[in-house]
Amino acid sequence: MVTARAPATSANLGSGFDTFGVALERPADVVTVERADETSIDVTGAGAQYIPEDPEGNTVGAVAEALDAPAHISIDKGVRPASGLGSSASSAAAAAVALNELYERGYSREGLVPVAAKGEAVVSGDAHADNVAPSLLGGFTVVRGDEVTRIDADVPLVACLPEVAVSTRDARRVVPDSISMDDHVETVGNAAALTAGMCRSDPTLVGAGMDDPVVTPARADLITGYESVREIAFEAGATGVTVSGAGPSLLAVCHPEKCRAVAGAMVEAFADAGVGARAYQTRVGRGATLL
């Protein structure tokens, strides 16, 4: 029996659509695997009732198949599905690490990224690595095709999860098919600033680089109260606010002394919009670990 923990993640970070990702210290999924003749799955924890236990419809089933590692897999969900916090990626990353250890497959963490991405394809329809890469490797990651660059960063974050759901497929449907040259230049500049900010562990520069004139405005319309929550988070001391992944979670960057105020303000602002929410005071964290 082998158990692994893999953290929640936030992808895109505003200006880095389908490219940037970051591991969070919390929340996380915990996956336990045992050898078996064929794969079976049971799920407990946050939103377990919405997650299929059929291996063909579950992200970890695809990981077990890719590793040729049949197992009984128990998933304890700490990351709610349809949250924008990489829920399926957390399960896939934890399963990949645990099964790789159980069957002694010998993959490096980098080598497990495309394996875990096969699990993501079950949920979103595409094998994107922008969530599984940080969940496996930790830190801030940049995905370019099959290449992943990892940067150590120490940046405080607040992830605020409202009690609404936005599916990845719906969120991808609203993304514009084309952009203007002005928007392109602005996005590239912001992405470069964000990357430099992560290299320096500078919350002010990271926050400024999260601005995005293309994808975030389109997805914001799917999240009740987004504009007011964003505005109030800035008033409370956030240096940047954006949609986390496909949403509905919002991700705020702040200096350490402002995190509590930002988290409370975002929850209160969602409440004023008639939406319950919870906030995680967290930071850029490490990747999946064996327990």
Same domain, 146 and 166: no
For residue 263, the model assigns a pLDDT of 98
Same domain, 165 and 226: yes
For residue 127, the model assigns a pLDDT of 66
Same domain, 78 and 174: no
Query: Residues with catalytic annotation?
Result: 120, 168
Q: Which structural domain range is residue 200 located in? A: 156-283
For residue 170, the model assigns a pLDDT of 74
Tell me whether residue 83 is annotated as binding.
yes
Query: The domain spanning residue 26 has which CATH number?
Result: 3.30.230.10
Which stretches of the chain drop beneath a pLDDT of 50?
Answer: none
Same domain, 102 and 19: yes
Tell me whether residue 89 is annotated as binding.
yes
For residue 4, the model assigns a pLDDT of 98
Query: The domain spanning residue 225 has which CATH number?
Result: 3.30.70.890
Is the Cβ–Cβ distance between 192 and 209 less than 8 Å? yes
Same domain, 51 and 179: no
Of the candidates 88, 173, 165, 171, which has an alpha carbon nearest to the alpha carbon of residue 132? 88
Find tokens 């929410």 and name the residue: 277
**Residues near 11 by beta carbon (within 8 Å), at least 6 away in sequence:** 18, 20, 21, 22, 86, 128, 130, 131, 134, 244, 245
Give the Cα separation of 43 and 37 in Å (integer). Answer: 19
Same domain, 103 and 211: no
Written as six digits, the tokens of 89 are 């990626």
Same domain, 94 and 145: yes
For residue 158, the model assigns a pLDDT of 98
Q: Residue 7: helix, strand or coil by DSSP?
A: strand
Distances (CA, A) of 190 to 160, 237, 242, 260: 23, 20, 13, 26
Question: Into how many domains does the chain fold?
Answer: 2
Q: Residue 76: helix, strand or coil by DSSP?
A: strand
For residue 172, the model assigns a pLDDT of 78
Tell me whether residue 87 is annotated as binding.
yes
For residue 203, the model assigns a pLDDT of 98
Tell me whether residue 167 is annotated as binding.
no
| Residue 138 DSSP label | B
